[in-house]
Amino acid sequence: MPLSTQSQADDEQYVLVASMDNARNLSNILKAITFKDHAIFSATPNGLKVTVEDSKCLQANAFIQAEIFQEFTIKEDLVGFQVNLTVLLDCLSIFGGSTVPGVSTALRMCYKGYGYPLTLFLEEGGVVTVCKINTQEPEEPIDFEFCSNNVTNKVILLSESLKEAFSELDMTSEVLQITMSPSQPYFRLSTFGNSGNAHYDYPKDSEMMELFKCTKTQTNRYKMSLLKPSTKALALSCKVSVRTDIRGFLSLQYLVRNDDGQICFVEYYCCPDEEVEEE
């Protein structure tokens, strides 16, 4: 097999080698965070974290644990690089990204280290494509300092119920306002559009609400344009955790199940738009 003809000697030059039988497991989860071209890759022995940022206000992280890969060899504690995510996704679906069961693209991803390109070996039906994507100087991801100790409100919802709300959201509204409160209205999404305003209220005892832990009434607004990309992650996910901290920063964590039933996480952080007077 072409992928196994890689000599042992070749492998030894790489600081990072990661391979999987089905490249869609990687490309799907990367699609959930594709809203800017540049993606920061940080690999540790635990797995791969891919970060995309926008306007220093929004950060999305996809975590692909080492177990998702059939092989995950890393020679350093931390390997970091930056590549163009759109190009990477194009490469991963170079065989057309067929969704027919039984047909999948095998992937072997190798990186020699600073200054080298990211090399992808893709194989489908005995045909191998080798892609080399130039890497860029890795930027330091913004630390949103979102710490679970400072979380004031947290709810976990089945994604299904949020999908409906997000698909109906009034996109003429500049912001999405999220209210979380230990009392009425518990969890509320509001928009303020051209034709009026709309509120979506989720009671805390709904079957859709897996966890409800709100300590303080909080109302924050987030730019709709910033939150829009997160709907891609929502569409893939089965559960979503919505958290806000004291400062009103928003954390959205999506639990995503891949084709093989394994679980990955996608996380979005978003800055609040402005201070809202609490009612």
Q: Between 19 and 173, name the residue whose CB sits nearer to other proteins.
A: 173
Please tell me whether residue 231 binds other proteins under the rule CB under 8 A.
no
Q: Between 42 and 206, name the residue whose CB sits nearer to other proteins.
A: 206
Q: Between 6 and 206, name the residue whose CB sits nearer to other proteins.
A: 206
Which listed range, 26-34, 102-110, 203-211, 262-270, lies at the site for other proteins (CB under 8 A)? 203-211
Work out which of 1, 102, 194, 279 binds other proteins, going by CB under 8 A: 194
Q: Least distance (Å) from other proteins to the CB of residue 241? A: 18
Q: Least distance (Å) from other proteins to the CB of residue 69? A: 37
Q: Between 165 and 276, name the residue whose CB sits nearer to other proteins.
A: 165
Please tell me whether residue 208 binds other proteins under the rule CB under 8 A.
yes
Tally DSSP H helices, then E strands, for the chain: 6, 18
Q: Which DSSP helix (H) or strand (E) runs through 91?
A: helix 85-92
Work out which of 95, 116, 121, 200 binds other proteins, going by CB under 8 A: 200
User: Alpha-carbon distance 15 to 36, whole Å?
Assistant: 26
Work out which of 198, 235, 255, 276 binds other proteins, going by CB under 8 A: 198
CB 154 within 8 A of CB 250: no
Contacts with other proteins in 114-173 (CB under 8 A)?
A: 161, 164-165, 167-168, 170
Assign 3-class secondary structure to 20-71. Answer: ECCCHHHHHHHHCCCCCCEEEEEEECCEEEEEEEECCCEEEEEEEEHHHCCE
Q: Between 137 and 205, name the residue whose CB sits nearer to other proteins.
A: 205
Number of residues that bind other proteins (CB under 8 A): 21
Q: Which of 180, 145, 196 is nearest to 188 (CA)?
A: 180
β-sheet with 209-214: strand ranges across: 79-84, 38-44, 47-54, 58-65, 263-270, 250-257, 237-245, 151-158, 209-214
At residue 42's C-alpha, the angle toward residues 70 and 240, to 5°, is 80
Please tell me whether residue 174 binds other proteins under the rule CB under 8 A.
no
Which listed range, 11-19, 52-60, 195-203, 217-225, lies at the site for other proteins (CB under 8 A)? 195-203
Work out which of 143, 196, 261, 279 binds other proteins, going by CB under 8 A: 196
**Residues near 97 by beta carbon (within 8 Å), at least 6 away in sequence:** 24, 27, 105
Please tell me whether residue 195 binds other proteins under the rule CB under 8 A.
yes
Q: Which of 112, 67, 122, 47 is nearest to 92 (CA)?
A: 122
Q: Between 202 and 249, name the residue whose CB sits nearer to other proteins.
A: 202
Q: Across 55-148, where does the E strand assignment appear?
A: 58-65, 71-74, 79-84, 106-111, 118-124, 127-133
Q: Least distance (Å) from other proteins to the CB of residue 200? A: 5
Residues that bind other proteins (CB under 8 A): 161, 164-165, 167-168, 170, 193-203, 205-208
